[in-house]
Amino acid sequence: MSIIKMYMIKMLGYMIVALPFYIIGRVIFLKKKKKRVEPIRELILALFVLYIIGLASQTIIPRWNAGILGETGEFYFDIYLFNEIAHVNLIPFHTISQYFFTTNANVDNWSGLSLINIAGNIFVFSPIGVFVPILWSRLRSLGKIFLLGLGVTCFIEFVQLFIGRSTDIDDVLLNTIGVVIGYGIYSLLKIPYYKVAFR
């Protein structure tokens, strides 16, 4: 669970930094377009945008490190685009089967970490399936949400080829399942989207 907590804290950091910029930009946009403000819709849109920023921070934004050198007092900023342990897997269910049917003597509680990895890949994308049909009336069918989820996760995995992160077809499968599960949650809750959706 500490892994989940670590990623959530990292995502939250980006979201907090982005919040004031989003508010300022959104206010300027609404005033320029002279759009009527609907508080519920604006709140949901803000949550969705911040979620997307948090998601991007852990998927398509390269790893980086910044600070001040203690000896010289100089500021440094490093971006890591290469990673020796990054890998590419294009065989469906290969990684998933390794999680379930193999062990790793170098990792404590391998089965628990495997389950967390699988569950995390699924549920971190489920908000897309909830937010999108609420906000956009043209994207309220299961088919469109499925294609959107597939497209988003394929784009993420493609970008990861160039930023030192692993690319895995199984991530595409799990992420897309997560989006569909999110849509299922949206459908089951019968959210009154007609009050908040963009038309």
Helix axes 169-189 and 94-101, enclosed angle (nearest 10): 90
User: Which residues, 6+ apart, have CB-to-CB distance to 18 below 8 Å?
Assistant: 49, 50, 53
Tell whether the model's pLDDT for residue 108 goes beyond 80.
Answer: no
> What's the pTM value of the predicted model, to 2 decimals?
0.87
Would you state the pLDDT for residue 33? Answer: 87
Model pLDDT for residues 43-77, shown as the tens digit of each residue: 999 999 999 999 999 999 998 888 888 777 788 88
In single-letter form, the type of residue at position 175 comes to: N
DSSP-derived letter for residue 36 is: P
The distance in angstroms from the start CA to the end CA of the chain is 40
Helix axes 39-57 and 126-135, enclosed angle (nearest 10): 150
Q: Considering the chain, what percentage of its residues have pLDDT values greater than 70? A: 91
Give me the residue label for tokens 């959706």: 197
| Higher pLDDT among residues 175 and 195, named by residue | 175
Domain edges within the chain = 86-199
Model pLDDT for residues 1-32, shown as the tens digit of each residue: 567 788 889 999 999 999 999 999 999 999 99
Mean pLDDT, the chain, whole residue set: 88
Would you state the pLDDT for residue 16? Answer: 97
